[in-house]
Amino acid sequence: MPSSLDQQHYETVIIGAGMAGLAAGIRLALAGKNVIILERHNASGGLNSFYSQAGRKFDVGLHAMTNYVPKGTKGTPLTKLLRQLRIPYDALDLCPQNCSRIHFPDCQLGFNNEFAFFEAEVARAFPKQIDGFLALAEEVRTLDAFNLGSMPSSARKAVQRHISDPLLEDMIFCPVMYYGSAQEHDMDYGQFAIMFRSLFFEGFARPLDGVRVIVKLLQDKYRSLGGIRKMKCGIQKIHTSGDKATTIELDSGATITADKIISTAGAVETARLCTDQPVDAESDNIGHLSFTETITVLDKQPTEFGWDDTIIFFNTAERFRYARVEDELVDPTSGVICFPNNYQYGEDRQLDEGFLRVTAMANHDKWCALNEDDYLAQKSHWYDELQKVTLGLLPKPKNNLNFEDHRLAKDMFTPRTVRKYTGHLNGAIYGAPNKIKDGRTHLKNLYLAGTDQGFLGIVGAMLSGISMANLHVLQGD
Partner 1 sequence: MTEDQVQQIVIDIIDEIAPDEDTTGLKPEVNLRDQMDLDSMDFLDIVMELRKQHGIEVPEEDYPELASLKSCSDYLTPKFNAK
Should residue 149 be labelled a site residue for partner 1 when binding is judged by CB under 8 A?
no
Nearer to partner 1, 130 or 474 (CB): 474
Nearer to partner 1, 142 or 475 (CB): 475
Choose the binding region for partner 1 from 1-9, 13-21, 86-94, 448-456 (rule: CB under 8 A). 86-94
State in angstroms the smallest separation of the CB of 392 from partner 1.
46
Interface stretch with partner 1, choices 28-36, 47-55, 62-70, 209-217 (CB under 8 A)? 28-36
Least Å from the CB of residue 467 to partner 1: 8
464 interacts with partner 1 by CB under 8 A: no
By C-beta, is 337 or 463 nearer to partner 1?
463
Residue 15 or 69: the one with the smaller Cβ distance to partner 1 is 69
Contact with partner 1 (CB under 8 A) among 1, 55, 75, 127: 75
Only segment of 97-105, 268-276, 441-449, 465-473 that touches partner 1 (CB under 8 A): 465-473
Which of 34, 257, 434, 470 is close enough to bind partner 1 by CB under 8 A?
Answer: 470
Per the CB < 8 A criterion, the answer to whether 410 and 296 are in contact is: yes
Considering the complex, state which of residue 80 and residue 407 has its C-beta at the smaller distance from partner 1: 80
Q: Nearest distance from residue 83's CB to partner 1, in Å?
A: 6
Which of 19, 29, 30, 195 touches partner 1 (CB under 8 A)? 30
Q: Of the listed pieces 70-78, 133-141, 182-190, 452-460, which binds partner 1 according to CB under 8 A?
A: 70-78
Q: Provide φ and ψ at 237, rounded to 5°.
A: -155, 150
> Which residue among 88, 105, 226, 346 contacts partner 1 (CB under 8 A)?
88
For partner 1, the closer of residues 64 and 469 by Cβ is 469
- How big is the site for partner 1, counted in residues (CB under 8 A)? 19
- Rounded to 10 deg, the angle between the 457-469 and 77-85 helix axes is 50
**Is residue 301 part of the contact set for partner 1 (CB under 8 A)?**
no
Q: Using CB under 8 A, pick the residue from 74, 327, 400, 402 that binds partner 1.
A: 74
- Tell whether residue 83 is a contact of partner 1 (CB under 8 A): yes
Residue 26 as a binder of partner 1 (CB under 8 A): the answer is no
Return the residue of 34, 79, 252, 257 that touches partner 1, per CB under 8 A: 79
Residues of this chain that interact with partner 1 (CB under 8 A) are: 30-32, 72, 74-75, 79-80, 83-84, 86, 88-89, 466-467, 470, 474-476
